[in-house]
Structure 1
Amino acid sequence: MTRRSWVEQVMGLPVSVLARGASARSEAADEAVRAVYAELREVDRIFSPYRDDSEISRLAGGVLAWSDATPLVREVAGRCLRAAELTGGLFDATRPDGNWDPSGLVKGWATERAARLLTAVGGLDWCLNAGGDVVLSCPSGEPFVVGIQDPLDPAAVSTSVRCTTGAVATSGTAARGAHLYDPRTGRPTTSEWLSVTVIGPSLETADVLATAAFVAGSLAIVDHTDQYYGLAVAANSTLLRTVGWPG
């Protein structure tokens, strides 16, 4: 099949699109990809905690009232509450310092939301990868092979999974250090695991479950969620899988 790829730096990380099929080099594919990047840049403008002018920063600083926030901010706040309910509080958008920071949900939500723009291009298999969190669709039925990065070697993969639709999300501390905290203690997460990867229908949900499982040090929360499957990489590089993880 004809293939084409794009990559841009958005939200502080590389975001790539791989397209495959007869329409991969069409103007429609170009327009859809441009729209994907434009939407992700707009999400970053609203939600980035590293920009003083973002709505998240202005809410934290008391400059912006919740009643004046955009509908997207209120939508994400609702999604964060549902994520907390799904995970029994293992996912929490309120930081130990009391500030609201939905970053742990926004990347997966925004990537999945932007991906809908690619589905409008007929005859196109596509894979949207935002810093290792992946959402894809293959109407052709020919799967993409998604590599699960080795947390001890960024140039290597621990394993791979073949997907024709859905999402793959990974959470851990190998790349960014101890940036995750345990909402139960308010302290940085300590784990014998290096990463957790979750696959399933929704990138937003897979990302939340991966974070929650890493914080808990257990794949039970994934195992008990329909249509989602998990894989953990231990410090000794042992791979632990839930029942149903693709062979």
Structure 2
Amino acid sequence: MRRSWVEQMMGMPISVLARGDAADSEAADTAVQELYAELEGIDRLFSPYKPDSMVSLLMRGEVGWDQAGFDVQEVCERCAAAREMTGGLFDADLPDGGWDPSGLVKGWAVERAGRRLRAVAEVDWCLNAGGDVLVISPSAEAFTIGIQDPRDPGRVVASLQRSWGAVATSGTAARGAHLYDPRTGDPVQGRWLSVSVSGPSLEYADIFATAAFVAGDDWPTVLLPGFEGLGILADGNMFSTAGWGVA
């Protein structure tokens, strides 16, 4: 049995697919609704596009960091750790002096909220947050995850099988040239149109995908052990690390 849900939040569609005998159960539906409620609350706290979010208040100087609360403090620490881990390729500090943790918050939030799905026994889950995917499969049966063609968003150019873990993609397909190189402050422009990263954590897969895209030709060196990548060039050619297709 399969059941699916989808909601538009955090500026993107977030879909949940449940698979298994209990997929249609009240417990499964409750877990999904709680997940959406948690993500909505996180968006209210962190969205730089909401004038009353804590991030917006902090950037306008209307509140101090001592008033930011535990979740914001935690994300700030995680952003600093991500900057250190990627050698500055991932940085929530903006060239204009602002702070935008959005590049970390999505993966962190989805992975954290995913614990609600894990609590439902005998259900496999595939959670897709704007193209970044978290898979939880107690049955060990894999889901097929498609990789979007950055030149044609309606086309899938690659796929991989996963029964656990996450896949995140960074590039120009969804939002154009929106990423900047923290080392120079300039927009990222190169011959790679997207980099997808798979691994055990959606938070870290998302961080590494962003950092790898910024790194350009050196992107495979950004990935830590346990994470694999697939890069797509502007001419359509693809390059993957050795363990990319290994389940």
For this structure pair, what is the TM-score category when the shorter chain's length is used for normalisation?
over 0.9
**Amino acid corresponding to residue 145 of structure 1 in structure 2:** T
TM-score by length of structure 1 reads: 0.97
Secondary structure of 1:181's aligned partner: coil
1:10 aligned to 2:39? no
Between the aligned partners of 1:243 and 1:121, the Cα distance in structure 2 is: 34
* Matched residue, 1:25: 24
Secondary structure of 1:219's aligned partner: helix
Secondary structure of 1:240's aligned partner: strand
* Matched residue, 1:186: 185
The answer (yes or no) to whether the contact 2:3–2:24 under 8 Å persists in 1 is yes
* Matched residue, 2:137: 138
Between the aligned partners of 1:64 and 1:160, the Cα distance in structure 2 is: 45
Any idea what the Cα deviations from partners look like across 1:118-165, whole Å, max 9, x if unmatched? Answer: 000000000111000011111111100000011111111010010000
Counterparts in 2 of 1:1-247, with a 5 A limit?
Answer: 2-217=1-216, 218-223=218-223, 225-246=224-245
Any idea what the Cα deviations from partners look like across 1:186-220, whole Å, max 9, x if unmatched? Answer: 11111111100000000000000000010011223
Secondary structure of 1:56's aligned partner: helix
Between the aligned partners of 1:171 and 1:161, the Cα distance in structure 2 is: 17
Between the aligned partners of 2:68 and 2:134, the Cα distance in structure 1 is: 28
Any idea what the Cα deviations from partners look like across 1:24-73, whole Å, max 9, x if unmatched? Answer: 00000010000000000000000000000000000000001000001100
**Amino acid corresponding to residue 219 of structure 1 in structure 2:** W
The answer (yes or no) to whether the contact 2:229–2:240 under 8 Å persists in 1 is yes
Any idea what the Cα deviations from partners look like across 1:70-126, whole Å, max 9, x if unmatched? Answer: 110000001001101110110000011010100110011101111110000000000
Aligned residues with identical type, % of pairs:
60
TM-score by length of structure 2 reads: 0.97
Gaps spanning 5+ residues in structure 2: where?
none
**Amino acid corresponding to residue 244 of structure 1 in structure 2:** G
Between the aligned partners of 2:130 and 2:20, the Cα distance in structure 1 is: 24
The answer (yes or no) to whether the contact 2:167–2:198 under 8 Å persists in 1 is yes
| CA apart distance, 1:174 | 2.3
Between the aligned partners of 1:242 and 1:36, the Cα distance in structure 2 is: 33
The answer (yes or no) to whether the contact 1:87–1:221 under 8 Å persists in 2 is no
**Amino acid corresponding to residue 71 of structure 2 in structure 1:** L
Between the aligned partners of 2:27 and 2:70, the Cα distance in structure 1 is: 29
The answer (yes or no) to whether the contact 2:220–2:229 under 8 Å persists in 1 is no
Where has structure 1 moved over 2 Å in runs of 4 or more? 218-223
Give the alignment's Cα RMSD to 1 decimal. 0.9
Any idea what the Cα deviations from partners look like across 1:162-197, whole Å, max 9, x if unmatched? Answer: 000000000012221111000110111111111000
The answer (yes or no) to whether the contact 2:86–2:222 under 8 Å persists in 1 is no
